[in-house]
């Protein structure tokens, strides 16, 4: 009986460590997206020159793509946590 208890405790510890690792990775990715989004916003605010409108559209599309990717990552993570 004691072997079974020890095995269950080891499984519980492994599950907690895995969950902590998954959370850390998600927060690192989130930090990257926030920093990149901030950089794109800064670039959008400081644009100048004759191609200003084209660059703004390009930056807007890059930000929209990042938001879509982040939403997909988050929905996948939430779906995994539900099961």
Using one digit for the tens of pLDDT, what is the confidence trace for 12-29?
A: 888 777 766 666 777 777
Q: pTM for the whole thing?
A: 0.50
pLDDT band at residue 50 using 50, 70 and 90 as cut-offs = low
Rounded Cα–Cα distance for residues 71 and 36 (Å): 15
Q: What is the pLDDT of residue 83?
A: 64
C-alpha closest to that of 40 among 56, 20, 21, 24: 56
φ, ψ for residue 47, nearest 5 deg: -70, 145
């Amino acid at each position: 009986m004691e072997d079974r208890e020890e095995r269950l405790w080891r499984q519980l510890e492994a599950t907690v460590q895995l969950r902590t690792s998954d959370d850390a990775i998600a927060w690192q990715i989130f930090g990257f997206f926030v920093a990149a989004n901030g950089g794109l916003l800064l670039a959008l605010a400081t644009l100048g020159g004759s191609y200003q409108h084209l660059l703004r559209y390009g930056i807007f599309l890059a930000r929209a793509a990042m938001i879509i990717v982040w939403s997909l990552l988050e929905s996948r993570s939430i779906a995994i946590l539900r099961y």
